[in-house]
Structure 1
Amino acid sequence: MKKVMMTLLSASMLLTACGQSQSAKPAAAPAQSTAPAATQETAKADKPVELQFYFPVAVGGPITKLIDKLADDFHKDNPAITVKPVYGGSYQDTMTKVATAVQGGNSPDVAVLLSTDLYSLISMNAIEDLTPRFSKEYFNGFYEAFMGNTKSGDTVWSVPFQRSTIVMYYNKDLFKKAGLDPEKAPSSWSELKEAASKLTVKDGSGKVTQWGIEIPSTGYQYWMLQAMSLESGTNIASGDGKQVFFNKPEVQEALQFYSDLGRKDRVMPEGALEWATVPSDFISGKTAMMYHTTGNLTKVKTDAKFDFGVAFLPANKKYGSPTGGGNLYVFKNIPEERKQAAVKFIEFLTKPERVAQWSIDTGYVGTTKASYETDLLKNYIKDFPQAAVARDQLQYADSELSTFQNGQVTKLFNDNIQAALLGKMSPQEALEKSQQQADAILKSFQ
């Protein structure tokens, strides 16, 4: 936990050092480029072009092998362009490396970074305005739920790539053993608590040998809480990166529910539940249900030795989940020929067949509507209907928390959420403190 949070803080400090704006307005969009749209052929390079492609590895599975193959396949189609992947570790570690590179005048050409890094990158004046680089038809091909974290106003700054929502995984075999219907996942908070109670198993000494539910509480606890807040009727931030709504009653209700699962209802382990450990606990049978990114779907499918289901997150007042995951960014301070090559690479990565295959290989949601019209995904979903759940949940999805000084805001919010989950603060105290701290950081952007 400390490592993740220190990384976030380091990234935030680096972003400030890179000259983040203290203005209330995002950096002005650059003048309209005369570069061709995505539907037109980009200019051919007179000499070979090499692209530095920063990429995080945030979930299980052979992601590096998949990216290496995509880079090789692109080079075969475009012999004058070579893509060199640079694997940065976690999203936070990759952002830190990118910020360092930008500060040192050695900006990458293209990178996959969190969609929520948008305003931090705008403040750094680090990324290219992609609005004139692609056609409107191209952007309209993506699911609208994924476009919220790509834009500031009408300016498009990135392209959805490995995108996700949070879904609920459940062990059908353990449901049967507990006398629950294996084809009916809990659809409400009350049903979740009832099922989790039946699925929590103790030995003769009273020690828990199987938990009913696990929800991560390190790294991305703000994301989990945001889902519960949406289910309670509100999002936790404005769409312009300038305001947060951490202390709303609906958010307090959500954090109380989150905390009670472990501290009061005793159906989830108390203390910190590591992001990477929860899927392992689910696969090994230590927990019967888990909340996690759909980006781990393929890993669960490959490694689980039992029948499992995937479902929408249970509703409170309604269904809801924030989107998540990474977007493709092109950097500003690189030569024009590399910008054009980067755009061509993005076009390559977002062709329907490749989006479909990436979804199958990883578990991430296919980002384009056209990808679900391919025979690849149609046949995959026919045999494995769990793969359609995250896509279907998009109708209830909203944008993920993204603000100016996002690293600092997310860190303080994560710290205070965890303090509430550990019983060091009440949910109300944690959220009031979070609101005050975030307001102080965002004041200069109002």
Structure 2
Amino acid sequence: MKRLPRHMLQVLVGAVMLTVLLSGCGNQAGGKTGQTKPVEKLTFDFPVAVAGPLAQDMTQLVNEFNQAHPDIQVTPVFSGDYGTTMTKVQTGFKSGNAPDVAVLLSTDMNTLLDNHLILPINGFAASKKDQQWLNSFYPAFMANSNLNGTTYGIPFQRSTLLLYYNKNEFQKAGLNPNNPPKTWSELVTDGKALTKAGQWGLEIPTSGLTYWEFQPFAIENGQNVVGDAANKVYFDQPKVVQALQFFADLSLKDKIEPPGLIGWATAPDDFASGKAAMIYHSSGSLTQILKTAKFPVGVAMLPGNVRPGTPTGGGNLYIINTRNKAREQAAFKFVKWMSSPDVTAKWAIETGYIGTSPAVYETAQMKKYLQATPQGDVARQQLQYAAKELATHDGQEIQQILSTACQKVLTQNVLPQAALTAAQQQADALLSKFKD
């Protein structure tokens, strides 16, 4: 083997030394500031009107996360209502372009699982601290977030129905503005006292998610329309039939509600304009109702019958099955941050949604808010009486079956027993393909 000329050997040795020196500098820099990590870029699908103020609030929250996590950059995508967002996620999953995180209805969990769209949160919560976080949420919200001991959705913008009432109109009608109706019979009595020319005593939205507005009455009568199983419903049970009769009688017999169907957005508008003295609406509407009403607004738990009750509602944070482990881990960090007490408190104050864990109500900002706005605490107090929202396999189809049955009773002179018997048969046929 030939020896290299002396001058070439010197050049080679110098190059090796320079390489070692530069490598050492790099290691020192890495020891001080950390190796440069690849930035995980995530997409977050969120249901809200793009032009709405909540889109701006959400963008601000996401920006705060990005600033605090330079190795993760989340882009929020505002996708319209829940239905539109669900369709977008399903379509994106099939085409390989799914978001990494999405807020979808808590009741979509079974459908998302049936289509392999979401991942179990337990698989990411490895540490003791993660487990404590996972167990920190209100049990009422976890009823639509767990399945067989596994958590698939993290409560985020969750709600219940509430009774909103006009305190001025209560006073004019000779009713105590600090004593809203607590029972079905009191609801009818007060509603009649408040019904007059140009004003209905009560409005309950019925044109959209009618099943949700009806479900409290079933719960309050002692029989929820759904249990723990995702392949069974209880539409035709006697207590549910009785509840639907009372629900329909509010307009058809007692005449404290307008005839026909009432739009979801119509009720709060009629309340603010004085066309309705009481309304049932989501706790998530609280902030907007307080802004638009020009009178003292009372907020109360829903009147009960054999018991108080309401279904929960609203959306969960889901980690989408993107099959990219690094992005899925980053998505878990984002979900944890978004559901932390301080962030959740900020979102609840902006919207009226319920803080999803007791820790939210220990934050300084939430305590300050409730001192100024005590109405904001009613939904949380009602959680002790809350029950599972209607959620099954093929959930949206099952919900529509019950909504249609309710609407037939309200508008087509169909008897509750007949409508619910037919609804039970339709639901049983649809759910029969899903075994225990």
TM-score, scaled relative to structure 1: 0.87
- The answer to whether 1:372 aligns with 2:367 is no
Deviates more, 1:110-119 or 1:135-144: 135-144
- The aligned runs of 1:363-402 (5 Å cut-off) are 363-402=352-391
Separation in 1 of the partners of 2:210 and 2:63? 36
Separation in 2 of the partners of 1:338 and 1:302? 39
Separation in 2 of the partners of 1:351 and 1:439? 40
Q: What is the aligned partner in structure 2 of residue 139 from structure 1?
A: 134
**Structure 1 residues 162 and 58: alpha-carbon distance in aligned structure 2, compared to 1, 3 A threshold:** farther
Other structure's SS at 2:141 match: helix
Separation in 2 of the partners of 1:59 and 1:324? 22
Separation in 1 of the partners of 2:265 and 2:92? 28
Of 197, 200, 203 in structure 1, the residue corresponding to residue 195 of structure 2 is: 200
Q: What is the aligned partner in structure 1 of residue 259 from structure 2?
A: 270
Q: What is the aligned partner in structure 2 of residue 304 from structure 1?
A: 293
- The answer to whether 1:160 aligns with 2:155 is yes
Separation in 2 of the partners of 1:55 and 1:254? 35
- The answer to whether 1:80 aligns with 2:71 is yes
Q: State the one-letter code of the partner of 2:123.
A: P
Q: What is the aligned partner in structure 1 of residue 91 from structure 2?
A: 100
Of 344, 350, 358 in structure 1, the residue corresponding to residue 333 of structure 2 is: 344
Q: State the one-letter code of the partner of 1:404.
A: H
Equivalent pair of 2:408/2:414 in contact (CA under 8 Å): yes
Q: State the one-letter code of the partner of 1:160.
A: P
- The aligned runs of 1:61-80 (5 Å cut-off) are 62-80=53-71
**Structure 1 residues 46 and 240: alpha-carbon distance in aligned structure 2, compared to 1, 3 A threshold:** farther
Task: List runs of 5+ in structure 2 lacking aligned partners.
Answer: 1-33
Shift in Å, 1:424: 3.8
Q: What is the aligned partner in structure 2 of residue 149 from structure 1?
A: 144
Shift in Å, 1:85: 1.4
Equivalent pair of 2:322/2:328 in contact (CA under 8 Å): no
C-alpha offsets along residues 424-444 of structure 1, whole Å, 9 cap, x if unaligned?
411111111110000000001
Q: What is the aligned partner in structure 1 of residue 433 from structure 2?
A: 444
Q: What is the aligned partner in structure 2 of residue 179 from structure 1?
A: 174
Shift in Å, 1:342: 0.9
Separation in 1 of the partners of 2:80 and 2:224? 29
**Structure 1 residues 335 and 210: alpha-carbon distance in aligned structure 2, compared to 1, 3 A threshold:** same
Separation in 2 of the partners of 1:45 and 1:249? 65
Other structure's SS at 2:242 match: helix
Q: What is the aligned partner in structure 2 of residue 254 from structure 1?
A: 243
Equivalent pair of 2:50/2:78 in contact (CA under 8 Å): no
- The aligned runs of 1:405-416 (5 Å cut-off) are 405-416=394-405
Of 181, 189, 212 in structure 1, the residue corresponding to residue 184 of structure 2 is: 189
Other structure's SS at 2:48 match: coil
C-alpha offsets along residues 182-236 of structure 1, whole Å, 9 cap, x if unaligned?
011000000000111111112xxxxxx1000000102221011111101000111
Shift in Å, 1:334: 3.5
Equivalent pair of 1:313/1:319 in contact (CA under 8 Å): yes
Equivalent pair of 1:107/1:334 in contact (CA under 8 Å): no
Deviates more, 1:161-170 or 1:377-386: 377-386
Separation in 2 of the partners of 1:180 and 1:240? 43
- The aligned runs of 1:307-318 (5 Å cut-off) are 307-318=296-307
Separation in 2 of the partners of 1:321 and 1:412? 20
Separation in 2 of the partners of 1:60 and 1:250? 43
Shift in Å, 1:44: 9.4
Shift in Å, 1:238: 2.0
Q: What is the aligned partner in structure 2 of residue 281 from structure 1?
A: 270
Other structure's SS at 2:303 match: coil
The structure having more radius of gyration, on CA atoms, is 2
Separation in 2 of the partners of 1:84 and 1:60? 17
Separation in 2 of the partners of 1:168 and 1:157? 31
Separation in 2 of the partners of 1:287 and 1:334? 51
Equivalent pair of 2:49/2:79 in contact (CA under 8 Å): no
Shift in Å, 1:344: 1.0
Of 12, 35, 40 in structure 2, the residue corresponding to residue 49 of structure 1 is: 40
Instruction: Indicate the percent of aligned positions where both proteins have the same amino acid.
Output: 45
Q: What RMSD in Å do the two structures reach over aligned CA positions?
A: 1.7
Equivalent pair of 2:202/2:257 in contact (CA under 8 Å): yes
- The answer to whether 1:404 aligns with 2:393 is yes
Separation in 2 of the partners of 1:178 and 1:60? 40
Equivalent pair of 1:45/1:337 in contact (CA under 8 Å): no
Q: State the one-letter code of the partner of 2:274.
A: G
Shift in Å, 1:276: 1.5
Q: State the one-letter code of the partner of 2:431.
A: L
Q: What is the aligned partner in structure 1 of residue 20 from structure 2?
A: none
Separation in 2 of the partners of 1:295 and 1:105? 33
Q: State the one-letter code of the partner of 1:161.
A: F
TM-score, scaled relative to structure 2: 0.89
- The answer to whether 1:110 aligns with 2:105 is no
Separation in 2 of the partners of 1:381 and 1:265? 36
Of 110, 116, 127 in structure 2, the residue corresponding to residue 125 of structure 1 is: 116
Equivalent pair of 1:294/1:390 in contact (CA under 8 Å): yes
- The answer to whether 1:325 aligns with 2:314 is yes
Q: State the one-letter code of the partner of 2:108.
A: D
Q: State the one-letter code of the partner of 2:208.
A: G
Q: What is the aligned partner in structure 2 of residue 36 from structure 1?
A: none
Separation in 1 of the partners of 2:160 and 2:199? 26
